[in-house]
Amino acid sequence: MRIIGFTGGVGSGKSRVLDYVRERYNCRVVLADEVAHRVKEPGQGCYGALVEMLGEGVLAADGRIDRAAMAERIFADEEVLKAVNRVIHPAVKEYILGVIRQERQDGRLDFLFLEAALLIEDGYEDIVDELWYIYAPEALRRERLRVSRSYSDEKITGILARQLSEEEYRRHCGVVIDNSGSLADTYRQIDGKLEEYL
């Protein structure tokens, strides 16, 4: 089983690429964002620590952590955000390592794809066999975000400012998939690379 990390800037089209490999290959796709929500559920590793840190005001009526209330609380204070990340990021990584161990043991998959916004920053290079950079030029990414998510130019600029530069992505990633043309062209690049491993 080959473990491939997918990364790239917001609007680069990672979701579309992951949908394609999910449909076409004998694989499992793990999304770090989904894992982050899972580890915050009642009874999971982060739940108690987060409630203690943020207060019961972040809880919904059913006892779960309310995402909107938590976001409001952490994005208002950089130090709180850092403290929350110190709790969540290691838990997410540990969960993903558990998934990898289980899938290796089962031995049924050809690939495990891992997508995380902070794949490089959080040291996932040590976990995956290789990193793929899903590339699209900034102008195209801005257009996609305006159309698909109705983001304002100001919001897009703020998001892009917090992400790695194209040079940094390329420096860390052994494979670059150019997702600025047709989907057929993107899929051809993916197939060409993955079929080398089968």
Tell me the pLDDT tens digit for each residue of 108-126: 999 999 998 788 988 899 9
Q: Once rounded to an integer, what is the mean pLDDT over residues 124-153?
A: 92
Instruction: Label the pairing between strands 2-7 and 27-31.
Output: unpaired
Residue 34 binned pLDDT confidence (cut-offs 50, 70, 90): very high
The share of the chain scoring above pLDDT 70, in percent, equals 100
Whichever domain contains 104, its CATH number is 3.40.50.300
- Does 115 lie in the same domain as 22? yes
- Does 186 lie in the same domain as 115? yes
In terms of C-beta density within 10 A (0-12 exposed, 13-18 middle, 19 or more buried), how is residue 156 classed? buried
Q: Once rounded to an integer, what is the mean pLDDT over residues 160-185?
A: 93
- Does 128 lie in the same domain as 185? yes
Residue 76 binned pLDDT confidence (cut-offs 50, 70, 90): confident
Choice between 30 and 159, residue whose per-residue pLDDT is larger: 30
Q: Yes or no: say if 144 and 13 are a contact pair by the CB < 8 Å rule.
A: yes
- Does 132 lie in the same domain as 48? no
Of 74, 108, 142, the residue that ends a domain is 108
H or E element in which residue 154 lies: helix 153-161
- Does 178 lie in the same domain as 131? yes
Phi/psi zone of residue 107: left (φ > 0), alpha (ψ -120 to 50 degrees), beta?
left
What is the C-alpha to C-alpha distance for residues 86 and 90, in angstroms, rounded to an integer? Answer: 7
Predicted local distance difference test score (pLDDT) of residue 73: 86
Of 108, 135, 162, the residue that ends a domain is 108
What is the C-alpha to C-alpha distance for residues 61 and 32, in angstroms, rounded to an integer? Answer: 26
Among residues 44, 22, 34, 49, which one has the least CA distance to residue 113? Answer: 22
Domain hosting 144: range is 1-26+110-198
Question: Mean pLDDT for the chain?
Answer: 93
Structurally, how many domains does the chain consist of? 2
- Does 62 lie in the same domain as 12? no
